[in-house]
Amino acid sequence: MIAALGLLLGVTLGLVLTPAVPAVLAPYLPIAVVAALDAVFGGLRSLLDGIFDDKVFVVSFASNVLVAAVIVYLGDQLGVGAQLSTGVVVVLSIRIFANAAAIRRHLFKA
Amino acid sequence: MNQQVTSVDHSAEPPAAARPPRAPDASMSLLRETSERAMDPGYASAAARRRATTPGGQPRPPRSRMSTAWVAVVAIALGLCASIAVITLRTPAAPGAREALVTEVAERRATVTSASERVHALRAPVDARRDAALSGGGDDLVAANRTGGLLSATSPVSGRGLRLSIDDAPGSRASAPGGDPRDATAADQGRVLDRDLQVVTNGLFAAGAQAVSVSGHRLTSLSSIRVAGQAILVDYQPLTPPYVVEAVGDPDVMAHDFAASAAGAYVAALEDAYGVQVTSTAHRSLQLPAGSVETLRHASTTQPAPAGDDAGAQR
């Protein structure tokens, strides 16, 4: 629970402060956001499954975002940044869909 | 979610007793993995660990205070990063992008300018050395080289000449910024076109000019005068009006011959019909820079070549 509260607090802080992002990091933002969404959906599903764990949630969130950024960085260095980003987005969105379906089954029993 | 496509033909593979049966959807394991293990396996293993440490389904022991604080801090940081990322992505393209491009263009242009200045500076010693090397072959070679350099515009030229200043008709430039070049209004008719500059420079050459430059760009036999958008490009360098055409030669003869030629009539028509402003002045000393960098395109030895003043080593 502390993780969800902390996340909410962080989001609010970001909305209030709106700091500028250095241009170097700009290419990694879209993938990082998708990875964060994936972690949030995974956490939501585990909450409904009754196995939510603060530490796992935070660690999976951070590692998802970091790995996504590293993949994009690697792709940029190898000249296949766009293709790798597409691959990452495809995999993450399949996971998001699957988690969303599980959540739906939990909530509506359908 | 769990059922996959199972219409794989098994008749080709005899079932081997030794190895485990091949999953019918083995070729789709990536999709399976992604969709079946969508939730982070960490949750399941953490739950299993809890069950193992607290048998009997008792409520788990509270986490240490330090660990909870860490989780909270990292969660706040992650939330902050996520919302910043989303805010940044939602704002339309950074307004600084255009300025950054403009700065980069200016920087690159300065690099080109300094590099070409260096080329021009290095040309004099190169010419001197070449003349020294050719002097053994007689004065003919040096003279032919000089002529070739003049004609191919690889050496700078100075001397008497004409200076023509050609400018858009008054009022036509007011509509220039942001205007659509496709709708030719009455005001646009007074603008100087690439065609006009082509006629003028060709007319000057026909009237006896030895060297011609347009706004500081020396024309060579390979120069181009084109238009892109609303700007006139000479050798792909955009120019701004007024366009200053300088021609080295006898100013009196050139002025007379130019006025009598078709190009002169064309310019007079431009002035009368469209209000294009053309002023012509004679100058005692015009300095024209060298044009393009010398490139060796054709070479032949002097011995078997027929003696004459065609310079074999010039392009």
pLDDT tens-place string over residues A55-96? 888 888 888 888 888 888 888 888 888 888 888 888 888 888
Beta-carbon separation of A98 and B94 below 8 A: no
Interface test with A, best of B32, B53, B84, B89 (most A CBs within 10 A): B84
Strands of the sheet containing B231-234, edge to edge, are B225-228, B231-234, B237-239
Q: How far is B104 from chain A (nearest CA, A)?
A: 16
Task: List chain A residues with CB under 8 Å of B94.
Answer: 23
Do A6 and B79 make contact, defined as CB atoms within 8 angstroms?
Answer: yes
Residue that the structure tokens 């240490």 belong to = B64
Predicted structure pTM score = 0.45
- In this complex, is the C-beta atom of B75 within 8 Å of any C-beta atom belonging to chain A? yes
Q: Which residues of B touch A26 (CB under 8 A)?
A: 88
B123 phi/psi in degrees, rounded to 5: -70, -40
CB contact under 8 A, B43 and A4: no
Chains A, B: CB contacts within 8 A come to: 149
For the stretch B259-276, pLDDT in tens is 888 888 888 888 888 888
B130-184 pLDDT, tens digit per residue, is 888 877 766 777 787 778 777 777 778 888 888 888 888 777 654 444 444 445 5
Whether B156 contacts B188, CB under 8 Å: no
Mean pLDDT on B287-303: 76
% of chain B beyond a pLDDT of 90 = 1
Nearest by CB: B39 against A46, A50, A65: A46
Burial grade of A81 (CB within 10 A; 0-12, 13-18, 19 or more): middle
Cβ atoms of A59 and B41 closer than 8 Å:
no
Q: Which residues in chain A have Cβ-Cβ distances shorter than 8 Å to B78? A: 6-7, 10, 36, 58, 61-62, 65
Q: What is the pLDDT of residue B114?
A: 92
- Give the distance from residue B10's alpha carbon to the nearest chain A alpha carbon, in angstroms: 29
Kindly report the length of chain B. Answer: 315
Rounded to a whole number of angstroms, the distance from the CA of A110 to the nearest CA of chain B is 13
- Report the residue of chain A nearest B64, measured CA to CA: A55
Contact of B122 with B291, CB cutoff 8 Å: no
- pLDDT computed for residue B62 by the predictor: 60
pLDDT above 70 covers a percentage of chain B that reads 76
8 Å CB contact of A29 and B88: yes
Q: B162, B282 in Cβ contact below 8 A?
A: yes
Comparing B69 with B33, which gets the higher pLDDT?
A: B69
The β-bridge relationship of strands B225-228 and B211-214 is: unpaired
Select the more confidently predicted residue: A35 or B304. A35
pLDDT mean over B88-95: 68
Cβ <8 Å between A10 and B82: yes
Q: Decide: residue B25, CB within 10 A, 0-12 exposed, 13-18 middle, 19+ buried.
A: middle
Residue A8, pLDDT score: 84
Are the Cβ atoms of B78 and A42 closer than 8 angstroms?
no
Alpha-carbon distance B20 to nearest alpha carbon in chain A (angstroms)? 28
> Could you read off the pLDDT of B214-258 as tens digits, one per residue?
888 888 888 888 888 778 888 888 888 788 989 998 888 888 888
Contacts of B68 in chain A (CB under 8 A): 2, 54
pLDDT in tens, B3-14: 444 444 444 445
Q: What is the pLDDT confidence band of residue B88, given thresholds at 50, 70 and 90?
A: confident
